[in-house]
Amino acid sequence: MRALIQRVTNASVTVNEAIIGEIDAGLLILVCAMPDDDFDTVKQLALKISKLRLFKDEAGKMNLSLAQTGGTALVVSQFTLAADTSRGNRPGFSGAAKPDMAETLYLQFASALRDLNIPVETGKFGADMSVALTNDGPVTIWLDTES
């Protein structure tokens, strides 16, 4: 799985002019399932993200995890993280998992974070979404379970 993680002071996702997911301080997690991913991959990524020390402690150092701060995650499916730009100017997305599998893994990922006691809001798989955020820091981290 691939994930782009942004530490935010707030974030929301809107579908058809209605906010369907919204958080205050926490992480916006854009996630893309890849063809070889499975439930073990999902759990591995959720655990890694829950433990990443991306939040400031009393001394201003990035020493605290999402779990430690009590922050929330906004998880949004983002198949374009699988973009292949090696040929031409139009990205290809054939490297992403097929939609049925991707939706299952996306939902399992959100559930795996919840199982780690992290409050989770989500976008809507396959929908045309508008994502708004205030990036805090800015802190943006790229994770790929293959590397």
Catalytic residues: 78-80
* Residues counted in the chain: 147
Q: What share of the chain is helix, strand, coil (3-state, %, to 5)?
A: 25, 40, 35
Burial 18-57 (b: 16+ CB within 10 A, else e): eeebebebbbbbbbbbbeebeeebbbebbeebbebebbbe
Of the candidates 69, 49, 48, 67, the residue with the CA atom closest to the CA atom of residue 57: 69
Can the peptide bond before residue 35 be classed as cis, meaning omega within 30 degrees of 0?
no
As given in the structure block, the two tokens for residue 53 are: 């020390």
